[in-house]
């Protein structure tokens, strides 16, 4: 049986691969796993440290209503990393807020400007 020299590696009787290239391929295959593990760890930390704050904000937003609807806590996550980098820096941002809404309504009637109520004019 032929023993490959120390600078090559053979997998399942396939063609020999240079040891440096083998390491590069192994790192490329494990990169997505490392990114996922980093995302999971950062996400766990972000959520675990904010649950009480998010729930308090949700309760505050609900106020003292007599509504029988349950108070819903909402937390958003944004996950990013530089694509293609060998060892990317993963960022997990979490956000929550109390939603406040203002509403104003009016008819968009273009004919209102044509009413005979101008300066110095009398209406009949």
pLDDT in tens, 53-104: 999 988 888 876 667 778 888 888 999 999 989 889 999 998 887 655 566 7
Q: Where are the alpha helices (DSSP H) in the chain?
A: 19-48, 51-62
Q: Which of 19-23, 80-84, 111-115 has the highest mean pLDDT?
A: 80-84
- Distance from C-alpha of 42 to C-alpha of 30, rounded to nearest angstrom: 18
Task: Report domain extents, the chain.
Answer: 15-59+74-99
Rounded alpha-carbon distances, angstroms, from residue 60 to 26, 49, 50, 65, 67: 51, 19, 15, 11, 14
Average pLDDT of span 98-123: 62
Partnered with residue 8 across adjacent β-strands are: 18
Assess whether pLDDT exceeds 80 at residue 13.
no
More confident residue, 83 or 115: 83
Q: Give which of 57, 85, 58 is closest to 69, Cα–Cα.
A: 58
Please give the pLDDT value at position 117. 57
Assess whether pLDDT exceeds 80 at residue 112.
no
- The answer to whether the predicted template modeling score (pTM) of the entire model surpasses 0.75 is no
In degrees and rounded to multiples of 5, residue 95 shows phi and psi of: -145, 150
């Amino acid at each position: 049986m032929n023993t490959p020299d120390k600078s090559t590696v053979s997998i399942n009787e396939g063609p020999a691969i240079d040891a440096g290239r083998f390491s590069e391929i192994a790192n490329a295959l494990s990169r997505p796993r490392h990114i996922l593990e980093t995302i999971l760890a950062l996400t766990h930390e972000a959520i675990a440290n904010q649950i009480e704050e998010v729930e308090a904000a949700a309760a505050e937003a609900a106020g003292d209503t007599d509504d029988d609807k349950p108070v819903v806590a909402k937390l958003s996550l944004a996950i990013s990393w530089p694509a293609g980098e060998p060892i990317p820096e993963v960022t997990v941002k979490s956000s929550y807020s109390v939603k406040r809404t203002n509403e104003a309504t009016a008819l968009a009637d273009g004919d209102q400007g044509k009413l005979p109520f101008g300066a110095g004019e009398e209406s009949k």
